[in-house]
Amino acid sequence: MSHAQTLGAGDALGAGDSYLTLDVVPPELAEHAFESMRDEVKWDVMHHRGGEVPRLVAVEGEVGPDGSFPIYRHPADESPPLHPFSPTVEAIRQHVQKILQHPVNHVLIQFYRSGTDYISEHSDKTIDVVRSPPSNIVNVSLGAQRTMVLRMKKDRAHSLADNAENSVKPPRPTQRIALPHNSMFVMGPETNAKWLHGINQDKRFITMKSPAETFHEGERISLTFRHIGTFLSADQSQIWGQGAVGKTKETARPVVHGAKESEELIIAFGAENHQSDFDWDAHYGTGFDVVNFTTKDE
């Protein structure tokens, strides 16, 4: 028996600071955005724990006059190279920024080629996501509708259950949110801290799916926009900003390539994935200058 709530536009999602917006970009852009992006974006593969992730990916961002660019670090063996915003992505970004009322300078683009492509539940890693002022993380969906599942982190759910009078612990609160074409899921910091999110495989026969789910032959492109506060130099030799040791460009330091630093950051990533009361300053505050690393189990 499923205990998941089915929610959507107009509902307060996650911890209450998240929501779903429909018709994000105007019809004339939405009509051709999927095909345009499929051709314009430089698709790549990404590896996690030595294996290829089950979707194609690309990274784009705002490149400065000196060639420096934002970097978003998360548990991947090595992230694809960042390219300047392609034309269609840039057009979408402008609409996203108007809705958010804050800038976004980085996007992770993912191509779900069929219902068997998925992303495991996780919390986004926030070492590089701008904290002051607080910024949201957003996911724009184009193409086939897929369902995002939000599930409260285990420690948070158990804490709430321990405070309840009922001695039987209920299942962890879960929310299912359909992400149709031209929609945007806005995830606030509290939701990312206290809930996990992911997109499960959908192996149902095509005859069991709705027209929205078979749109564009079941293919989906997602764009996760973030406001990033950590930067790499054009030659990728220097790093600075919120998530680095040197917090300003003037105090930039050399990028580190070392097992010890990589392992420490992976441990911090694991803590953020599991702890709803994650202490950002304690884990990330001093900064890390490592960029690429091979991950261990979280």
C-beta neighbour count of 295 within 10 angstroms: 19
Three-state DSSP class for residue 6: strand
Q: Considering only the top CATH level, what class is 5-284? A: mainly beta
Q: Are 244 and 265 in contact (CB under 8 A)?
A: no
Question: Would you place residue 197 in the very low, low, confident or very high pLDDT band (cuts 50, 70, 90)?
Answer: very high
Regarding predicted confidence, which is higher, 19 or 75?
Answer: 19
Of all residues in the chain, the percent with pLDDT exceeding 70 is 89
Question: Would you place residue 295 in the very low, low, confident or very high pLDDT band (cuts 50, 70, 90)?
Answer: very low
Q: For residue 232, is pLDDT > 70?
A: yes
Instruction: Classify each residue of 120-140 as buried b or exposed e, where b means 16 or more C-beta atoms within 10 Å of its C-beta.
Output: ebbbbbbbbbbbeeebbbbbb
Q: Are 24 and 194 in contact (CB under 8 A)?
A: no
Q: Which of 143, 88, 89, 110 is nearest to 43 (CA)?
A: 110
Q: Which of 216, 272, 265, 227 is nearest to 245 (CA)?
A: 265
- Helix, strand and coil content of the chain, in percent to the nearest 5, comes to 25, 30, 45
